[in-house]
Each structure stands twice: as structure tokens, then as C-alpha cells.
Chains A and B, each alone.
Chain A
């Protein structure tokens, strides 16, 4: 059939199985918006700022594994979306961003609302396209979805000039796409896998270090089976939480800058490290020259450029996590049947000594509300099954430390870029993806202000997100760094002139609750989650002095951590270092 470019866009999305498009209209995209109006299969969610559209699509993608779809107009629409696109890029989230553009004849003339979209987004996308002929449009959209969701996922921008959306062409949505320059590998090399297993079974101090790649690759079941079959210690990065059940005794907790004492010490001390779906980020490695000096590293990743980028790797395996782990598991079982059984009792004894520090513990007797207590209570009230989105800072770290995750795609946060403002719009995307599930947005009073306008979107679409605002009247993480490293010179980290959040939430049509005493925390959370159809904004007035521990010392090795101040621990630590 003959369709206009605008109709081709909408029809392609329908044929691609897209449920939601998050967007905001504007001049260059008007033809497309007209085509949306005339149909009901693909639902458009109107946000209040293009950044909100990108974070919502991102949250949707993280919660479902399907690409999030965004539609924005040219010029300021694109520049407002860049933050969200970069956020998705850093965390490898599948996303397709359709952007309006000025008519082809005006491109390059500094036209009204024109920016060089392809140029501006080039460094923060997996790929981008500028469609100059309507005949190419359907094919390009198909390619965009293919590139976004295969291999190492990432955002793809498709820039569509307005005249292209007005011209017509014969429409046929391709059933498949083949690209000569792009063919991601899925199965790992069998010899490498075999070599890896031999190394692991011969290790005295092994560790399994996993991250976002397990979540994006849907490999949590395979990982859990393998770890339990080997009975090896396992640790997750911030991005990998939920890939392995938090309450399994084999789990060492999150590692990295604010990870557990035992996970970082084990990573330092190990002799064989199996790394799957991780990228040896600086938050995890600390100073690279001091990183895990005696370990032999096996690195499984779908992106070859991630392997050997930061650390040298003895056994590189390029492939998807799930098939590789499955292959490893079958070899392990075969070897065990032949009588090869790893004996790492001494290693576990060492790990138990480190665990005794209880590095995440906090003062449970305080008269002030401790943010960790709020998160633990949230976990209890939601049975550990909620979808939890987060903004960035101390609250994010406490959420990661104290809300135990036992399933993939429950923990939704901006790890790589660390984008404040992510939490609320991401929660919108998650709630739309899972309308009957409990969705909590853990945030701080600084972060929540960045995309606060999305409270209006939540009202329009009746999204019953529960906002847990850990209000310490400071940009918590900045304040912590200033306390530790800048002699307490709190430069511009105090949040002055804050609104009355309860009144603010109510003005948007939601329920607002303020909680000032620890005794009221549980009741408030119960009351909030009992409201299945309303968004509830909970303003918890928390202890301002609380810091996130442990903390890998800036510029230090990953075994050099600041631990929580306490006499009992100082004694333990002295014994440890002796």
C-alpha cells in the first residue's frame, strides 16, 4: 500500500510490536503526530520534558528487555533528549529514538529548531541514521530496531526530516534484515570455554564477578545454576543486582566503590576470576595498577572491545552470557562426574572472616530516621518483589545495598552515566510495562527536583508509583565527598529553598505523606502501598550526617576501603591487618 512517511513510521512501529511510544510533539514532528492521532494500536505517552521521555523509554526497556521507543521533535527536542540517550548508551539499554528534523532543503541553513542531530548524538549512540528518502524509511526503522536490540544493546537515533514524512511510498515492512558490517557473535569458542572451566576447577581462591550483561542477556538462571553447581563465591556489580539471589549464602554482596568488604577483598585476593557481562569499570577496579594482582582472568562478554580494554585477560570469550554459561555448566557437570571436585574450604573460611565485619551495618538505635532503615522496611513490605527505580547519590547506594534483589530487571538505575532525574520517569516506564506490579522510586530531594514535572505525566496516565524521597536536605554524595576529601567545605551541596513536597505532590493530584520519626516509617509505607491506584509521595526526613560505607578510597586499590566508624570494628580491623 502507498503510505506517507508519517504513516510509515506508525505502521512500522505497529509491525515491530511496539506498545508504547514516549514523546513530546513539535513542529518538525507534526505529520507523525497526525498519523498517531488516527490510530489506536500504538499508545503514545505524553511526557512533560523530552528527558522524561527518554528515561521512561529506558525504564520500560530495562524492565522488559524490549527496546524503549521515543518520539521527539527537532532542535530543542533533540538536545533535551541527549541526556537520556547518553544514559541508555552508558548502560547498554536497547532504545530507538525517532527525531523530527527540518525539511531536507533547509538542513544546514540554521533553520528554525534545527540542530545537527546525527552529529550531536554520534558519540552517545550505538548508531544513528538520517533518512533522506521516504523509500528508505521502513528499512531504516527495521535496521534501527535490529541494531538496538542485538549484540551489546544500545540506543539508535533515526532522524526524519519533515518533508520525508509528507512524501509517499510503497510500504512493505521487511521481515528480516541482514547487515554485512554487523553480525554479533552468540556462542563462545568451545576451546576457550573448556580452558576456562579447567582453570576454575583447579583454583584455590576462585570468584565469579558478574554484572549488567547477565541482566540484559537474560542469563540469571544459567548463572545461578552454575554458581550453585560450583559452590563458588559470587558477586554482582551495581548493574548486575538481581542476577544472583541476594540471600544465597554463596553471594558476597555487591562489589565496587560502595560494595561489601568481603566482595572487594575476595576480588583482590583471588587466583581465578570468572568475569561475565561486566566491563571492569573504575568504580569496581579502583586504581588499575593495584587491581587483583595475582588473578588469572576469564572474561565472557558479547562485545569484543570490552575484553582487554582495562585489564589484561588470559581467557577471553566473546559470546552471549546465557549460551556460554550453559556450555560451562555442562562441562562442569561432566568433570565432576569424572571425580574432579574443587576444594576451597580455606577460601570460604577467609571470606567468612571478612563477612564478620558486617560492612553494611548502621546504627539501628538512632532517634532520627536512617535511610537504610527505610529501604529495609520497603523490602519487607514489598516482599522483596517490587520494581525499584532510583536516582543518583547516597540513596542509590543504600537502595543497592539494602534492598535485596532476587530477580532480574527489578533494579532500575543509571549506573554508567549516573543521571540525576532518572528515577521518576523511569518508574513511569516500568509501571506502564507492569501495570499490576508494585513500583517504588527511591530518590533524594536533589534528584527528584530534576524531573519533577513528570508528576503531571503520572497523573495523566494514573501511574501508581510510590515515591520514596530520602530527604536529608543535602546533595548527600557530594556532601560526603566534601566531608572526606575537602575538609568539610560544603560548597553548594546544601539544598536551600526546598518545596513542601507533600503540598507539591498534592498540587499534582497525588497523595503526599511526610514522615519524621522512625516509628512512623513502617506504617507510612504500608499505607502507601495499600493505595493501589494512587501515586504516593513519601517525604522521609532523614539523618543528615549519615555516610555510605564502605567506600573504596579515591586513588586507592580496591582492597583499601573506608569502613564505618565503630570501636568494635577498629579492633577487628587491627587484628585483620596484623
Chain B
């Protein structure tokens, strides 16, 4: 959704979810080309009736300018992950191979660790973590999902 870039807008939206008992699986927000607007992407889960209520309640907020449910049409989802793993001796080769297969990039190297940057749909990131079984994960940071519709439709003011 496009949201007024005002102090408290993020709080208001997060507060709405918690007050009404809706779940936020991921949330990401950043400024847009228009200084006065931020773009926020929220991933939530629920029945059709719940999603309809969430949509209506969000639209009711004065700060929300426009909203679209991306899952209603064809769309692209992307998420960024930075993941630090123990990579010593034989493991180093294996981790590098996995990173290449998943088209990730190793962005930090020490004697014992690799830090890998990976982008893709949530499922791809989940698959990478699963593929790492046996490798010790020191730390993983995920950015939350961003989305955009396919084709020429756009979320604009």
C-alpha cells in the first residue's frame, strides 16, 4: 500500500493489526520517488472474509492512500536474506557450491565463516536454508517480502 510519509503512520497500521487480532507475517516499508509517500508491503494470512475485513479496515485509515491485494493477480515477490554460516575445511566447498546453485553471492569471508546474500521469493530462501542442513547457521537476517504486480498495472496515487 501507499501510505502518507507522516510520523506515526507505521504505528497506526501495525496497531490496527494487533488491535483486531490479525497476524503480520512480514512487513517492509521504504520511501518512494514521491517524498510524501511511503510504500509498505505486508504479508498476512486469513480466510477470504478476514482478508476482506483487513482490506476495508486499512482503507479506512486516513494515512493509507491506496491499497492493492497483490495475490488477486499475477505478481512477483522478492525477499532479501543475509545469512552467516560456519564454513570450515570441507564445508567451505559445499557452501560455495550451494550459494552458486541458488545464485547467491558470498559477501563476507573469514577463516571460519561465509556470509551469503540471497534474493528471491520466500520459498527459494526457505529452500536454501533447508539445503544447508548439516551446515551451522550462525545468524540469518530476512528483509520481509516486497511485491509488485506483473504486466502494466501499477500501484500509483
Chain A residues in the interface with B (C-beta under 8 A): 118-119, 122-123, 126-128, 130, 147, 179-182, 303-305, 308-309, 312
Contacts and interface: CB of A to CB of B under 8 A. Distances in A.
A102 B66 CA distance: 34
Given A127-B62, A181-B63, A181-B64, A118 B8 contact: yes
A307 to B, nearest CB: 8
Contacts of A303: 60
Given A118-B8, A119-B11, A305 B57 contact: yes
B65 A181 contact: yes
A122 B11 contact: yes
B15 interface: yes
Given A118-B8, A122-B15, A308 B62 contact: no
B34 to A, nearest CB: 11
Interface in B1-42: 4, 7-8, 11-12, 15, 19
B69 interface: no
B8 A130 contact: yes
A128 B73 CA distance: 34
Given A308-B52, A308-B53, A179 B62 contact: yes
Nearest to B54: A305
B62 A182 contact: yes
7 residue pairs, one from A and one from B, having the closest CB atoms: A305-B56, A181-B65, A127-B62, A305-B57, A304-B56, A305-B60, A182-B62
Contact of B12 (A122, A179, A180, A309): A122
B42 to A, nearest CB: 17
B19 A304 contact: no
B62 A181 contact: yes
B113 interface: no
Given A126-B62, A181-B61, A305-B60, 18 more contacts: A119-B8, A119-B11, A122-B8, A122-B11, A122-B12, A122-B15, A127-B62, A130-B8, A147-B62, A180-B65, A180-B157, A181-B4, A182-B62, A304-B56, A305-B53, A305-B56, A305-B59, A308-B49
Contact of B59 (A130, A304, A312): A304
A119 B63 CA distance: 15
Contacts of B61: 181
Q: Choose among B7, B15, B19, B62 the residue with the greatest number of A CB atoms under 10 Å from its CB.
A: B62
Contacts of B52: 308
A285 to B, nearest CB: 16
B75 to A, nearest CB: 23
25 contacts: A118-B8, A119-B8, A119-B11, A122-B12, A122-B15, A123-B15, A123-B19, A126-B62, A127-B62, A130-B7, A130-B8, A181-B61, A181-B62, A181-B63, A181-B64, A182-B62, A303-B60, A304-B56, A305-B53, A305-B57, A305-B59, A305-B60, A308-B49, A308-B52, A309-B53
B26 to A, nearest CB: 22
A240 B11 CA distance: 34
A87 to B, nearest CB: 17
Interface residues of B, number: 21
B47 to A, nearest CB: 12
A119 B10 CA distance: 12
Nearest to B3: A181
Nearest to A156: B62
A123 B11 CA distance: 10
A123 B14 CA distance: 11
B121 to A, nearest CB: 30
Contacts of B11: 119, 122
B136 to A, nearest CB: 41
A303 B7 CA distance: 26
Contacts of A312: 49
Contacts of B12: 122
Contacts of A181: 4, 61-66
A128 B61 CA distance: 11
Contacts of A309: 53
Contacts of B4: 181
Nearest to A306: B56
B54 to A, nearest CB: 10
B103 to A, nearest CB: 39
A118 B7 CA distance: 10
Contacts of A128: 8
A123 B20 CA distance: 10
A470 to B, nearest CB: 36
Contacts of B49: 308, 312
A318 to B, nearest CB: 10
A567 B80 CA distance: 74
Contacts of B65: 180-181
Contacts of B56: 304-305
B55 to A, nearest CB: 9
Nearest to B12: A122
Nearest to A143: B62
Contacts of B66: 181
Nearest to A182: B62
Contacts of B19: 123
A170 B105 CA distance: 56
A115 to B, nearest CB: 15
Contacts of A304: 56, 59-60
A212 to B, nearest CB: 17
Contacts of A147: 62
Contacts of A118: 8
Contacts of A122: 8, 11-12, 15
Contacts of B60: 303-305
A92 to B, nearest CB: 12
A305 B56 CA distance: 5
A354 B52 CA distance: 38
Contacts of B62: 126-127, 147, 179, 181-182
Nearest to B7: A130
Nearest to A126: B62
B98 to A, nearest CB: 45
A312 B53 CA distance: 12
Contacts of A179: 62
B94 to A, nearest CB: 49
